[in-house]
């Protein structure tokens, strides 16, 4: 026992008094015992700290907090207050002296173990040339004489210096010390003292690794973006833990992205929310990718892990996206705008050579397919309802403004020859049903093309054919059933507009949007041409 006495422990963060303790300083450790509240002079064991891993730091007086010193030992630190300045000084001096004596004792032990053992004297020889050979051998150092000098001051203090660096979060300094030691021992023989030194250092390496792992854990603050993890990542890589650094970095960023998405406030306007969601997610993804390239530039094996992480993050994004866009039954035009925004943000990743467009397509295909089929059913129901009330009368728009508006709408649909179907005094020589069908079908096609990617080709094409057949079969049926010659001529005029104007426009626009012609639409137009050649045919268009 070198020294002992009463101390008061304080909280390191809030400087609030915690408890009274009694400390016992031995020649190789410090024992701390807490005072039992109901028994005077009685103490209970609290903690034991080996002097090898203990650092003592003086705490400057800051009234009313004075006469304090701090003990640093990974992974914690404790602050104690002495009774007065004199006792505090004694504690600091005795602690340092005891640690120094401990280090010197350990040094002497290592030196004793490192001394070469005396070799037995060789028998005397009568050979006159042996004396010369012995002299030559003395000039060459033996393997036993190549002893590692572990008495250097910086090596003696290395374990303690590592403890201080770890306690003070000087990660770079700790790894620099380890690199210095490894460089020094690189070409030295592995003796027992070296093994013991390595064992002490390896324990500190484990402690340092644990601290760096904790720094990268998702439980830590996620503020500061990907760059906030750079210190811990770079030091783990220097310690040869690049795989662990990659795994922890990506877990940290996944938690950050998830938190950012969760904190987004859901706006009343879906498109506004999607703009914010895409900005938050893809900006974070881009920053993470750039930081990943910086941190793991020399570790090509880690890039596959990043791609897997990016796919997983994209799934998390699509879940939030679909919940707001598709689960809430937004209109097809709103859904198309939202998907367009997501695709545009996704293309920004190509700046760093990362193309995730195919992933977002694969994750959204089910929802988009459902939206297309749902909207197709709405159009078909609306068309059937109008067909049931069809009177086959010309449209009277009443005002030139209304007629001009309709012209503009048809022009935007791609129907450039609409003027040939307009008459005098705001009359239009077409049925309201056919005009409404044209506008609705072209609107569906335009919105569907915004959503289009190859996996949706047949879904879109079959939906389009199904919609068109409802109108074509209605006109075909009306032609066969109508007996009034005047109405029959009007129906033929509507049929001509539908077959010769609308269907070619649909076919052309589909080919422009998709990049290749659709045989199903060509077959549908050819079937309509056959029906026009023989309008009295009873064979319906199918």
Domain ranges of the chain: 3-111, 252-355, 370-533
The size of the chain, in residues, is 542
For residues 73 and 49, is the Cβ–Cβ distance under 8 A?
yes
H or E, element range at 32:
strand 29-35
Candidates 227, 122, 212; CA nearest to 171 is 212
3-state SS assignment for residue 18: strand
User: Nearest-CA neighbor of 518 among 443, 450, 451, 468?
Assistant: 468
pLDDT the model gives residue 118 = 47
For residue 219, what pLDDT is reported? 67
Q: Burial-class residue 176 by CB neighbours within 10 Å (0-12, 13-18, 19+).
A: middle
More confident of the two residues 145 and 255 = 255
Confidence (pLDDT) at 137? 44
**Average pLDDT, stretch 372-396?**
90
User: Per CATH, which fold does 3-111 belong to?
Assistant: PH-domain like (2.30.29)
pLDDT on residue 441:
92
pLDDT for 293-310, tens place per residue?
888 887 777 888 988 999
- Rounded to an integer, the average pLDDT of 411-429 is 82
Residue 75 has pLDDT above 90, yes or no: no
* Range of weakest confidence among 136-145, 427-436, 503-512: 136-145
DSSP string, 107-143: HHHHHHHHSPPPPPPPPP---TTHHHHHHHHHHSPPG
What pLDDT is attached to residue 144? 42
Tokens 């015992």 correspond to what residue?
33
Cα dihedral across residues 533, 535, 539, 542: positive or negative: positive
Q: Are 370 and 451 in contact (CB under 8 A)?
A: no
Tokens (6 digits) for 181:
């030691």
**Looking at residue 352, what is its pLDDT?**
78
Q: Tell me which residue of 4, 49, 10, 39 sits closest to 22, measured CA to CA.
A: 4
The CA distances from residue 297 to 208, 234, 242, 301, in Å, are: 23, 11, 11, 10
- Contact partners, residue 208, CB within 8 Å, separation at least 6: 162, 166, 171, 174, 175, 235, 239
**Inter-residue contact 394 to 486 (CB < 8 Å):** no
Residue with tokens 């309509």: 528
Q: Which fold has domain 252-355?
A: Methane Monooxygenase Hydroxylase; Chain G, domain 1 (1.20.58)
pLDDT score for 246? 92
pLDDT classification of 139: cutoffs 50, 70, 90: very low
What's the pLDDT score for residue 467?
92
Residue 115 has pLDDT above 80, yes or no: no
pLDDT category of residue 33 using cuts at 50, 70 and 90:
very high
When mean pLDDT is compared over 199-208, 292-301, 416-425, 531-540, the highest value belongs to 199-208
Strands 76-81 and 3-10: antiparallel
Decide yes or no: CATH 1.10.287 for domain 370-533.
no
SS3 422: strand
Greater confidence (361 vs 350) lies with 361
135/99: higher pLDDT: 99
- Ranking 66-80, 115-129, 509-523 by mean pLDDT, the lowest is 115-129
Q: What is the pLDDT of residue 57?
A: 86
pLDDT at 327: 83
Bigger pLDDT: 502 vs 75: 502
| pLDDT given at position 223 | 62
Residues 41-55 have pLDDT tens digits of 678 888 888 888 788
* Winning range, highest mean pLDDT, from 129-133, 345-349, 416-420: 345-349
Q: What is the reported pLDDT for 319?
A: 92
Mean per-residue pLDDT of the chain: 83
Q: Note the pLDDT tens digit of each residue in 440-456.
A: 999 999 999 988 888 88
Q: What pLDDT sits at residue 224? A: 62
Helix axes 332-347, 432-451, angle to 10 degrees: 20
Read off the tokens for 72.
């640093």
493 φ/ψ sector (left φ>0, alpha ψ -120 to 50, else beta):
alpha
Q: Give the Cα separation of 166 and 204 in Å (integer).
A: 8
pLDDT (0 to 100) of residue 134: 46
pLDDT band for position 263 (cuts 50, 70, 90): confident
Q: Phi and psi (nearest 5°) for 111?
A: -65, -40
- What is the token pair recorded at 511? 């080919």
Instruction: Give residue 540's pLDDT.
Output: 41
Spatial CB neighbours of 261, under 8 Å, sequence gap ≥ 6: 277, 280, 281, 316, 317, 320
Mean pLDDT (whole number) for 215-237: 77
Maximal C-alpha separation, the chain: 146
> What pLDDT is recorded for position 278?
92
For residues 225 and 400, the model is more confident at: 400
pLDDT at 170 over 50: yes
CA 204, 210, 216, 218: dihedral to nearest 10 degrees? -160
CA distance 211 to 171: 9
What is the average per-residue pLDDT within 16-22? 88
Q: Which of 368, 307, 308, 376 is nearest to 342 (CA)?
A: 368
Tokens of 378: 């709405």
Q: Partners of 65 in the beta sheet?
A: 62
Average pLDDT of the segment spanning 233-257: 89
Instruction: Give me the sign of the Cα torsion angle 315, 321, 327, 332.
Output: negative
Whether the CB-CB separation of 523 and 530 falls below 8 Å is answered with no
239 neighbors 209 (Cβ within 8 angstroms): yes
- pLDDT of residue 123 exceeding 60, the answer is no
Identify which of 407-421, 490-504, 521-535 has the greatest average pLDDT: 490-504
Spatial distance between the Cα atoms of 411 and 392, rounded to a whole number of angstroms: 23
38 — pLDDT class (breaks 50, 70, 90): confident
């Amino acid at each position: 026992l070198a020294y002992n006495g009463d101390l008061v422990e304080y909280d390191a963060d809030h400087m609030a008094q915690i408890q009274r303790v009694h400390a016992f300083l031995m020649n190789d450790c410090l024992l701390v015992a807490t005072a039992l509240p109901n028994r005077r002079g009685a103490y209970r064991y609290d903690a034991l700290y080996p002097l090898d891993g203990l650092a003592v730091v003086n705490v400057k007086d800051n009234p009313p907090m004075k006469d304090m010193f701090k003990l640093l030992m990974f992974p914690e630190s404790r602050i104690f207050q002495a009774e007065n300045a004199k006792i505090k000084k004694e504690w600091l001096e005795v602690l340092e002296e005891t640690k120094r004596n401990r280090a010197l004792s350990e040094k002497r032990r290592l030196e004793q173990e490192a001394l070469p053992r005396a070799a037995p004297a060789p028998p005397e020889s009568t050979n006159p040339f042996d004396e010369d050979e012995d002299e030559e051998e003395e000039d060459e150092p033996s393997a036993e004489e190549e002893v590692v000098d572990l008495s250097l001051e910086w090596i003696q203090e290395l374990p303690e210096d590592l403890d201080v660096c770890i306690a003070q979060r000087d990660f770079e300094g700790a790894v620099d010390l380890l690199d210095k030691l490894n460089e020094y021992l690189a070409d030295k023989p592995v003796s027992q003292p070296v093994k013991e030194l390595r064992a002490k250092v390896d324990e500190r390496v484990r402690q340092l690794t644990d601290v760096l792992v904790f720094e990268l854990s998702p439980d830590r603050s996620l503020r500061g973006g990907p760059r906030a993890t750079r210190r811990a990542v770079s030091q783990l890589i220097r310690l040869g833990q690049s795989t662990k650094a990659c795994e922890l970095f990506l877990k940290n960023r996944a938690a950050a992205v998830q938190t950012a998405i969760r904190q987004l406030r859901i706006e009343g306007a879906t498109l506004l929310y999607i703009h914010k969601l895409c900005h938050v997610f893809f900006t974070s993804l881009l920053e993470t990718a750039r930081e990943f390239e910086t941190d793991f530039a020399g570790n090509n094996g880690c890039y596959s892990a990043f791609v897997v992480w990016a796919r997983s993050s994209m799934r998390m994004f699509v879940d939030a996206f679909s919940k707001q866009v598709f689960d809430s039954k937004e209109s097809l035009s709103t859904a198309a705008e939202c998907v367009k925004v997501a695709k545009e943000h996704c293309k920004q990743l190509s700046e760093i050579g990362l193309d995730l467009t195919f992933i977002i397509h694969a994750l959204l295909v089910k929802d988009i397919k459902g939206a297309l089929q749902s909207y197709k059913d709405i159009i078909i129901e609306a068309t059937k309802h109008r067909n049931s009330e069809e009177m086959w009368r010309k449209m009277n728009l009443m005002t030139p403004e209304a007629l001009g508006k309709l012209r503009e709408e048809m022009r935007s649909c791609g129907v450039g020859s609409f003027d040939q179907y307009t008459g005098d005094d705001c009359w239009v020589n077409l049925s309201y049903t056919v005009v409404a069908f044209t506008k609705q079908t072209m609107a569906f096609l335009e919105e569907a093309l915004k959503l289009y990617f190859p996996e949706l080709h047949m879904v879109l094409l079959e939906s389009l054919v199904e919609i068109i057949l409802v109108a074509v079969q209605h006109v075909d049926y009306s032609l066969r059933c109508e007996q009034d010659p005047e109405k029959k001529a009007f129906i033929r005029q509507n049929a001509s507009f539908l077959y010769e104007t609308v269907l070619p426009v649909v076919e052309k626009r589909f080919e422009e949007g998709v990049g290749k012609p659709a045989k199903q639409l060509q077959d549908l137009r050819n079937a309509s041409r056959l029906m026009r050649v023989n309008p009295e045919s009873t064979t319906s268009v199918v």
